[in-house]
Chains A and B, each alone.
Chain A
């Protein structure tokens, strides 16, 4: 009771320990993955991993290009579907709907993120895959179905973060714009969205992270052939699927190659995050 200063010190130190342990777990994971994955990349050459097109672990052929392309394709596809839908929903719920409607709809959308990914995958497998097979041809298990499922899965992330950042734009901006004779839509497009930009980009980055990291739902609808996809209707395997599908039985160099897959995934995510942050900062400075 008597010594508030000592108390502060104690609290500061214990919080520091907690914070450090959270960060150190991240560091340990990173070190572990790199320690397991780097030696084999060194042995067979980085070029063979990044650009090799053949993945035959039993024959010592560890080309990851199909999976790298697969991950990037389905992530891009997910963003093409998720971002316009997500932003449109967020704009509607914040600027154009009545307060009652948004009070009902926002929790419903957030509920979407609580659905386990295996359920999304199952729904995709039962409805989306047959639909694509019958409408567009091909096996149905494809880049397209994976993109659509992921696009839906990242919606809650994008919508709720976009809503928060649009709501954070001061009402005085809206009033100022309307007082200058702007319509509601002109105000949203020319004032509110630019003001909310950094938050919107943050939402999209998080959505992207979720899309590239998602495994279960993708395995169920993507077809998982370790070949470069020839079209949107061809099956595809992502980096995460590659690890999840084979880790159970892999051993020796095969196992190490899966860790190498993890290393590449790690680096790709870092690069994407960095680029997205960079563009966000550049634009907001303008």
Chain B
């Protein structure tokens, strides 16, 4: 029996009057990569921001149902949102390094938690950049502005920054949508390595990417979860006609 990490129960999300997620039920297992595919506006990204409650920032955002992370309902009032967000590190579609040095980007999260020991921070920076596959390229210029890096490097920096939080979960929102094939490959390699230690949820527009890296894949359509299964099964014999159509490129 696999270890349940996140359990989504009858969960719906609304922007104002519009329902963007419809009655989701989904289990995410520990140390797996769950790929989420689906056409634009299917609710994939919204689902990610519901998991770390970044959707709280959007005016008019409402939820119903439950999301249990490690058994804790994250929409209960006693949940401390900043701590929750540290636990579920998120990488966005467009790389958004903060306007500061590479080094400061990585230690931003740990510093917020009051970590100041220089030696420890140095080790952390090396460790996280190493894991994100960026260390070799930037180790001599950690003090330059992160905005000077290329798009692919910025995205790996964002991943390193998330790892520095020591999260349990990594949420990736189309992390390679703006990147060239080589950068994309590097990030995918990194994800396969990270799977040993983290539970990863990967939203992607690129169905082939899900096929390459995801253990299980979920198909979202217009705010509904159409089906979720082992990636091999989803891509060879999906049980729903709509999944098959999407994967074969007949719409979306």
Q: A-side interface residues toward B, CB under 8 Å?
A: 99, 170, 172-183, 186, 190-191, 194-195
Closest approach, in angstroms, between the C-beta of A286 and any C-beta of chain B? 9
Closest approach, in angstroms, between the C-beta of B193 and any C-beta of chain A? 22
Q: Which of B159-205 contact A (CB under 8 A)?
A: 161-162, 165
Q: Which of B4-12, B96-104, B223-231 contacts A (4 or more CB under 8 A)?
A: B96-104
**For B82, B158, B161, which residue has the most chain A Cβ atoms within 10 angstroms?**
B82
Extra 5 A-B pairs, beta carbons < 8 Å, given A173-B96, A176-B96, A186-B112: A175-B54, A176-B158, A179-B52, A180-B86, A182-B109
5 A-B pairs within 8 Å (CB atoms) are namely A99-B59, A175-B54, A176-B158, A179-B52, A180-B161
Contact pick for A194, options B57, B90, B96, B100, CB 8 Å: B100
Task: Report the bound CA distance from A99 to B112 in whole Å.
Answer: 28
Task: Across the interface, name the chain B residue whose C-beta is closest to A285.
Answer: B145
Q: Which of B45-85 contact A (CB under 8 A)?
A: 52, 54, 57, 59, 82-83, 85
- Chain B 107-121 near chain A by CB (<8 Å), digits 1 or 0: 011001100000000
Contact pick for B99, options A99, A180, A183, A191, CB 8 Å: A191
Closest approach, in angstroms, between the C-beta of B201 and any C-beta of chain A? 14
Contacts of B98 in A (CB 8 A): 173, 176-177, 191
Number of A-B contacts (CB under 8 A): 59
Contacts of A173 in B (CB 8 A): 96, 98-99
Q: B-side interface residues toward A, CB under 8 Å?
A: 52, 54, 57, 59, 82-83, 85-86, 89-90, 92, 94, 96-100, 108-109, 112-113, 158, 161-162, 165
Contacts of A99 in B (CB 8 A): 59
Contacts of B162 in A (CB 8 A): 180
**For A175, A176, A182, which residue has the most chain B Cβ atoms within 10 angstroms?**
A176
Q: A175-B92, A179-B54, A181-B85 are in contact. Are A195 and B99 (CB under 8 A)?
A: yes
Contact B83 A181 (CB under 8 A): yes
Contact B57 A180 (CB under 8 A): no
Contacts of B89 in A (CB 8 A): 179-180
Task: Report the bound CA distance from A120 to B59 in whole Å.
Answer: 40
Contact B96 A172 (CB under 8 A): yes
Contacts of A191 in B (CB 8 A): 98-99
Contacts of A195 in B (CB 8 A): 99
Q: Is the interface of A mostly helix, strand, loop or mixed?
A: helix
Contact B109 A181 (CB under 8 A): yes
Task: Report the bound CA distance from A190 to B158 in whole Å.
Answer: 17
Contacts of B100 in A (CB 8 A): 194
Contact B96 A175 (CB under 8 A): yes
Q: Which 7 A-B pairs have the closest CB atoms?
A: A181-B86, A176-B96, A172-B96, A180-B109, A179-B90, A181-B85, A181-B82
Task: Report the bound CA distance from A213 to B85 in whole Å.
Answer: 50
Contact A181 B165 (CB under 8 A): yes
Q: A181-B83, A181-B112, A181-B113 are in contact. Are A176 and B99 (CB under 8 A)?
A: no
Task: Across the interface, name the chain B residue whose C-beta is closest to A191.
Answer: B98
Task: Report the bound CA distance from A170 to B112 in whole Å.
Answer: 21
**For B59, B86, B96, which residue has the most chain A Cβ atoms within 10 angstroms?**
B96
**For B98, B109, B112, which residue has the most chain A Cβ atoms within 10 angstroms?**
B98
Closest approach, in angstroms, between the C-beta of B220 and any C-beta of chain A? 21
Task: Report the bound CA distance from A127 to B98 in whole Å.
Answer: 47
Task: Across the interface, name the chain A residue whose C-beta is closest to B143.
Answer: A286
Contacts of B97 in A (CB 8 A): 176
Contact B54 A178 (CB under 8 A): yes
Contact A172 B85 (CB under 8 A): no
Task: Report the bound CA distance from A172 to B57 in whole Å.
Answer: 12
Contacts of B99 in A (CB 8 A): 173, 191, 194-195
Contacts of B92 in A (CB 8 A): 172, 175-176, 179
Task: Report the bound CA distance from A172 to B89 in whole Å.
Answer: 15
Task: Report the bound CA distance from A180 to B92 in whole Å.
Answer: 12
Contacts of B108 in A (CB 8 A): 177, 180, 182, 190
Contacts of A172 in B (CB 8 A): 92, 94, 96
Contact pick for A183, options B57, B82, B96, B158, CB 8 Å: B82
Task: Report the bound CA distance from A177 to B57 in whole Å.
Answer: 12
Contact B112 A182 (CB under 8 A): yes
**For A173, A177, A178, which residue has the most chain B Cβ atoms within 10 angstroms?**
A178
Task: Report the bound CA distance from A173 to B112 in whole Å.
Answer: 16
Contact B94 A179 (CB under 8 A): no
Task: Report the bound CA distance from A177 to B105 in whole Å.
Answer: 10
Task: Report the bound CA distance from A242 to B96 in whole Å.
Answer: 53
Contacts of B59 in A (CB 8 A): 99
Task: Report the bound CA distance from A97 to B180 in whole Å.
Answer: 41
Contacts of A183 in B (CB 8 A): 82
Task: Across the interface, name the chain B residue whose C-beta is closest to A98.
Answer: B59
Contact A178 B86 (CB under 8 A): no
Task: Report the bound CA distance from A110 to B98 in whole Å.
Answer: 31
Contact B112 A175 (CB under 8 A): no
Task: Report the bound CA distance from A180 to B106 in whole Å.
Answer: 10
